[in-house]
Amino acid sequence: MILKRLEIFGFKSFADKVDIDFGEGITAIVGPNGCGKSNIVDAIRWVLGEQRPRFLRGSRMEEVIFNGSERRDPLGMAEVTLTLDNSEGLLPIEYEEVTITRRLFRSGQSEYLINRTPCRLIDLETLLMDTGIGPHSYSVMEQGMVEAILSENPEDRRRLFEEAAGITKYKARRKAALQKLEAVERDLVRIGDIISEVERQVEALERQVRKAERYKAYRSQVRELELKLASYRYGLLEREARPLLEEGEALKDTVSSLAVRLRKGEVEVERLRAELMEVDGELGRLGGSIRDMERKSHGLKEELAVLSERIKAAGVASLRAEEELRRTEGRLSEVGEELEGIRGRISELEDERKRLSEVRDELRGEVEDLEERCRRRRKRIEELRGEEATIVELLFRKGGEIERKESRRDGIRVRLGELQEERAQLKEKLKKTKRRVGEVEVRIRQVKGKLEERRKEREVLSSQLSSKDRELRDLNRRSDEIEARLSSLREQLEFWRRMKAQYEGYSDAVRTLLLESPLKGKAVGVLGDLVDVDESFVRPIEAALGPYLEAVVLPKAEMAREAVAFLRRKKVGGRVRFVALDRLGSWPEDLPDAPGVRASDVVRAEGPVRRWIQFLLGRVILVDSLEEALSLGPGWGGITKDGLWVRPDGEILGGSTDEGGPGLLSRKLQMDRIGARISERRKELEEVEEDVLKVISERDKILSRISLLDTEIEELGRRLLSLDRERAQRTFEERQLEERAGRLEEEEGSLREALERLQVELVQDGLEKGKLERRRAEVGSLIREEEASMEEEEGARAGRLSALHGVQVELASVEERLEGARRELIRLEGMKKELSDAVGRRAEEKVEAEARARAFVARRESAGRELEELTGKLREMEEKYKILDQKRIALQGRLGTSEEEVRRTRTEYEEARSRAHEVEGRLSQLRMEAQEIWARVQEKYGVDVRELEPPDESFEPGLAEREVARLQERIEAMGPVNLGALEEYRREKERYEFLAKQQDDLLEARDTLKQTIVELNRKARKQFMDTFERVRDHFRESFVRFFGGGEVDLVLSEGDDPLEAHISIVARPKGKKLQNISLLSGGEKALAAVALLFALYREKPGPFCILDEVDAMLDDANVQRFVEVLKQFSSETQFLVITHNKCTMEAADALYGVTKEEPGVSQLVAVRFEGGEVKAEINTSVG
């Protein structure tokens, strides 16, 4: 496998896309420092998965993206693609050519592709694992790594050996297994904790299940009683509703009949009202017609009066028009005479105007000469007055300035007085404010004192509350412990009961007979279960009865035959002792006096069994010692408390024996003891629950007091906060007052300084004002002299001007009279025309007036005739109106009678309906109560109360209500009840079993992982040591080849696991002593590094190797040896060498150069040899 092609775009200084095709052998890349040669190595390292920016000579991964230059903008992405030849199948992928691509965007998003298919980083690392290719393998070597690998970091050195040994995958698998083992250990700890917690929950849920069962029993009783109460109350409501339903039906009939009567009466009333309305309408229409005729008659009468007046007015108008005609014709002759006189007067006035115009022109010339002289005089006066005005203005300004300064001076004096008063007031305010601050301080101390008292009290109460909480926890813990003990005792009792029910401890024959044979349920039992003995006599009685304790007691003897036959059929081994009660004889009651306490007297049994016990133990005496037993007379037996028995027949039994079922009586006694302990624990539990209620009550009181204290503390805190704010406000006011006093003092000082300056300025302004006033007097004298001269000239001008004005007035008067005569001429000519027109109009008006008079007379005659006809019709309609009015009065009487009848019927109807509503209301109330009972029962119990059987006559609802209340109190006293405890108990039990199984699985997985890690370590250790020894031999050979002699060795640190041990290098170049590699010179270390690299290659030759200026520290002789070794290995390994050395360049099969012709941007130069000369061509795509 070799490198075939490298494509770079936007990576570091390669802003443009660069394609590099690689061939076999040695490829050298050359160029000046800083041109970007090492960026090619970084690109290869980066595309192979390098994740640490510092190995790419950066601080952040985003720095690999081209960041721009003076001429180019930054790019948003870096992309590198590396193509590998996989024809030999070194990579575990079914492609002969593998293309690896990596992209990075400025947003931080990163992409990996294998053969243009997106993949993950882990997929890339898995693909390259144990191939000698990787960002940190020996396939990439640079000058800075040489010394690090050989001296500083043993881990880097170890990584090379692990790559060569191919154990990286083992270490990765071991690391994953260790991580899984840690996870399993954590899971075991966690699941152990969970199992412990679930165990506690299961135990607690078991107690809750018992509590829930008691709760269900109480709820069942409450349900039964509440259903009976609901049925009883529902029945009461039904009984009350029956008579009301009957009354309601009767009322419905009554209301219905009354409604019919009422509707009939209302129909009659409506008919009469309609007839009355019709008569009223007819009367209204007749009245309207009469009124219309009356109005029309009145209108005709008024019209006749108006026509008479108009006839008179038309006659007057005709006479007036005739008189006006005569006057207008007389005025027309007068106007003709006036026109002749006006024309002569106009000719005289035109001659007079010509003469006056000549006199006016002469006087105007004299006046203009005098006006020129006055104008020059006036100009001089104006100049003097301008100067006077300037002086006046200056005086005015100066006076205003003096007034302002005096006003300011007075204002300053007033302000100084105000400042003194204000300072006095501020002093008083400051005194008051300080006093208030002191008062607030006192109140704050008081509130703090109260707050501290309340807090201390609360701390005491909190301590008491903690004590009560601890006491409550202790009581709850004690309750849980008692519950746990009760649970344990119940389990023990249940265990003993199961043993008793299953006849555990008895022989197989007895157990089979009593559990499986036809005698099951027919036998009386075994003797051990039918007798009772006090605890102090259990052991001697067990010893005395011995095997009889397992005797099966049967009612009849023939049942024994059936039992024996059954045992034979079943082939059950062992013998069974039977006692047939019908075969027991009577025991003589006149027993001889016993020399002590008979054993039969301490055994309790009933009926025939009692007689049989007397038979067995009647002659056995309870004794204290063997000697006392032996001293009894003949026919008497004795038994000690420890079970030593002297039989009546003289046989002595002692020691211990398993025969006869020992411990059967102890088991029954144990059950009794457990039952007694259960009763004691229940009583103890009730006492603890009472104590819990008492502590809860006391705790609630403390909480109530703490709540009150918290409220009071909160209120005191708010008061303290308010007082703090008030103090801060008062302090702020005090500070403001002090600052204000300081500002007033500064203001007073500045005002006094300003007052002094104003005094000086006022004196200077007074002097300047005096000078201006003197100059003003001088200018005034000059103005008066000029004005006197001008008055003389003005007098002469006025005389000539007066004569001119007289001529002009006279001329104007002549022109005005001439104009008036001309206007009069025009007016008279117009008047003459108007009078001619007026004569025609007056003649027309006279004709019109005579025609109107004739028309008015005709209309008056027509209106008189209409009035006579209208008066006749009016009399007819008034007669008809009287007849209809009489009919209306009769209808009103009948309507009143019908309405009275309807009112009486409506009263009865309303009363009946009201009663019906009352009945219906009560029925509705009863229905609502019944519905409420039904809904409550339906909602609460899902039962229809109507389907319930009514309680019998002996049912007492009061007693039932009290019983329900009592049961409810018990239910409330139980506190919270987990009704889902049974399901939760089952679920938690299943969870516990599931977790236990998981715990077993995890334990098995832990053992499997430990075994896997041991196996991985064994394989990796063997493979590493084999590779280490071979590399060790190769290193010795390559060292001698590079150094021309000497010796070298690789040493593992003693006592360490070879998989973790440090690898040290000791070397002795030719002519030197053996020493650690770190003591060699830089060139020797570099050459030793190359020797180690080639030793690793000999163990596992990599497909290619990149050497970044590793020959920089070598002299010419060592470079020559280095080049010779490269040539030897180049047949197996492809080399990419970055170098400045000429010898290395000469050995290269291909040579590329990197330049920065454009600042900040790297470009690739293809270099080839032709005729001994080097030729270069810049190209972004080199192949």
Q: How far apart are CA 2 and CA 22, in angstroms?
A: 8
Domain CATH for 622 = 3.30.70.1620
3-state SS, one letter per residue, for 795-806: HHHHHHHHHHHH
Tokens of 583: 């075969």
pLDDT tens-place string over residues 38-53: 888 889 889 888 888 8
Output the pLDDT for position 1031. Answer: 83
629 and 546 assigned to the same domain: yes
Give the span between the Cα atoms of 502 and 35, in whole angstroms. Answer: 98
pLDDT of residue 891 exceeding 50, the answer is yes
Angle of helix 1082-1099 versus helix 981-1043 axis, rounded to 10: 110
CA distance to 306, 937, 945, 997, 1052, per residue, from 737 (Å): 99, 79, 85, 84, 87
pLDDT tens digits along 462-518: 888 888 878 877 887 787 788 777 777 777 777 777 777 767 667 777 777 777 777
Residue 250 lies in a domain: no
State residue 1172's pLDDT score: 41
Between CA 330 and CA 326 the distance in angstroms is 7
pLDDT at 1176: 46
Contact 506, 550 (CB under 8 A): yes
What would the pLDDT profile of 100-151 be if each residue is shown by its tens digit?
Answer: 999 999 888 889 999 989 999 888 888 887 676 766 565 677 666 565 566 5
Cβ pair 146, 1086 in contact under 8 A: yes
Residues 1048 and 1162 in one domain: no
Place of tokens 């329900």: 964
Residues 981 and 205: beta-carbon distance below 8 Å: yes
Scanning the structure block, which residue is given the tokens 């050359």?
30
**Contact predicate 204/480, CB 8 Å:** yes
Q: Is residue 832 part of a domain?
A: no
Residues 125, 144: one domain? no
Give dist(CA 1015, CA 1011) in Å, integer: 6
Calculate what percentage of the chain has a pLDDT beyond 90: 2
Residues 22 and 98 in one domain: yes
Dist CA 677 CA 487 (whole Å): 12
Residues 704-717 have pLDDT tens digits of: 788 788 888 878 88
> What are the pLDDT digits (tens) for 820-842?
777 777 776 777 777 677 777 76
Domain annotation covers residue 543? yes
The whole-number average pLDDT for the span 189-210 is: 75
pLDDT over 70, % of the chain: 88
1043: nearest Cα among 1105, 1085, 1093, 1076: 1085
Longest dimension (CA), the chain: 213
Are 145 and 68 in a shared domain? no
Residues 18 and 133 in one domain: yes
Residues 544 and 621 both lie in one domain: yes
All residues at 6 or more sequence positions from 116 whose CB lies less than 8 Å from its CB, including other chains: 99, 101
Domain boundary among 660, 684, 703: 660
Q: What is the mean pLDDT of residues 1037-1045?
A: 78
Q: pLDDT at residue 933 above 70?
A: yes
Total number of domains constituting the chain: 3
Task: Looking at the structure, tell me whether residues 622 and 599 fall in a common domain.
Answer: yes
Question: What contacts 684, CB < 8 A, 6 or more positions away?
Answer: 482
Q: Is residue 417 part of a domain?
A: no
Q: Rg of the chain over CA atoms, in angstroms?
A: 71
Domain identity same for 653 and 641: yes
Taking 3-state DSSP, the helix, strand and coil percentages for the chain, each rounded to the nearest 5, stand at 70, 10, 20
| 265: in domain | no
Q: Is residue 812 part of a domain?
A: no
- Whether residues 1093 and 1150 share a domain: the answer is no
The full 3-state SS of 960-989, as one line of letters, equals HHHHHHHHHHHHHHCCCCCCCHHHHHHHHH
The reply to whether 1157 and 1057 lie within a common domain is no
The boundaries of the domain holding residue 1038 are: 140-167+980-1101
In contact, 458 and 710? CB cutoff 8 Å:
yes
CB within 8 Å of 980: residues ≥ 6 apart: none
Cβ-Cβ contacts under 8 Å for 404 (sequence gap 6 or more): none
Of 617, 636, 660, the position where a domain reaches its end is: 660
What does pLDDT average to over the chain?
Answer: 77
Whether residue 253 is contained in a domain is answered as no
Segment 455-477, tens digit of pLDDT: 888 888 888 888 887 887 788 77
CATH number at residue 18: 3.40.50.300
Cβ neighbours around 132 below 10 Å, total: 23
- Per-residue pLDDT tens over the stretch 681-736: 888 888 887 887 888 778 778 877 887 888 888 788 878 877 887 887 778 778 87
pLDDT class of 426 with cuts at 50, 70, 90: confident
In sequence order, what are the residues at sequence separation of 6 or more whose Cβ sits closer than 8 angstroms to the Cβ of residue 822? 346
DSSP-derived 3-state class of residue 653: strand
Domain boundary at 660, 676, 698, which? 660
Q: Within a 10 A sphere around the Cβ of 1088, how many other Cβ atoms?
A: 26
Tokens of 487: 């649970």
Predicted local distance difference test score (pLDDT) of residue 724: 80
**For residues 373 and 690, what is the distance between their CA atoms, to the nearest angstrom?**
139
Q: Is the pLDDT of residue 796 over 90?
A: no
**Residue 465 pLDDT:** 82
| Residue 1174 clears pLDDT 50, i.e. is over it | no
Of 129, 105, 116, 160, residue with least CA distance to 48: 129
Quote the DSSP letter at residue 339. Answer: H
Same domain for 8 and 96: yes
Note whether residue 955 is domain-resident. Answer: no
- C-alpha 671/C-alpha 665 separation (Å) is 10
Name the pLDDT band for 535 (thresholds 50, 70, 90).
Answer: confident
Of 510, 512, 508, 541, nearest to 669 by C-alpha is 541
